[in-house]
Structure 1
Amino acid sequence: MVDHVDSVRRSAIMASVHSKDTRPELIVRRTIHALGYRFRLHKRDLPGKPDLVLARHRLAVFVHGCFWHRHPGCSKASLPKTHQDYWREKFAANRERDERVYAELTTAGWRVEVVWQCETRDKARLRQRLAETIGRYTKP
């Protein structure tokens, strides 16, 4: 298959895809900070380098893109029309890695929470969900 955009444009598109400091991640950070919680970012000493780590509460938060991590039932988790075998393999590897990382963190005594990209659109609902989630983990 031939790419429908030239190599310069494709390079620019791929360069704009980031793994850190994405818009959904920044929204989640602001929300958790506004709730009064403090956190660390991308802790390298933890499996999977969670996007946010609330060490006091032993909580690792991942902010996942619906497309890359295959959010079940989400319209953003569509399969590209070209090179489908490649994409299926890529997405399967991403999901397997995610599950392995969650298991490693859980075994090490961490709680894991995933916030999906599409959940960051409704800020009030996100705030309520995060307040309830983190509240479950706070020590009395």
Structure 2
Amino acid sequence: MNSTHPTSLVAMFAVALSTLLIVPSAACADAGPRPARHFDLVNATLDSVITLAVAPADRDAFQDIDLGQPLQGGLTSMTFDVPAGGCLRDLRVTFNGGRTQLFPRIDVCRSSGLRLTLHGANPKHSGA
């Protein structure tokens, strides 16, 4: 008959329980980065957009978005990946000639894009 001391059983149970508690959180941490959030920018103004930057809402930590080339005025569009972070973002757009316009507190989780117009901008809401 195999005799195991009660203290040994408690220690083995504690180790097994702690392993069960640690594994799920490690699995979540290793799940990898969230998929990139895509966002559309439509330029329906008369000026070309020469720079675009995104920051967490109400902060001055803007990250430039690589446009590749200026986004021509008229009715052109581009899609970019929003940098990792929360839903509320400030978008800063600089037009040819140096005019800069700030679009504060855009909810990139509920909106799928922004349409720049002669009179400002209109968020494009996603179906979610």
- TM-score, length of structure 1 as denominator length: 0.29
Q: Normalized per residue, which structure has more strand?
A: 2
- TM-score, length of structure 2 as denominator length: 0.31
- Asked which structure has the greater CA Rg, the reply is 2
Q: Normalized per residue, which structure has more helix?
A: 1
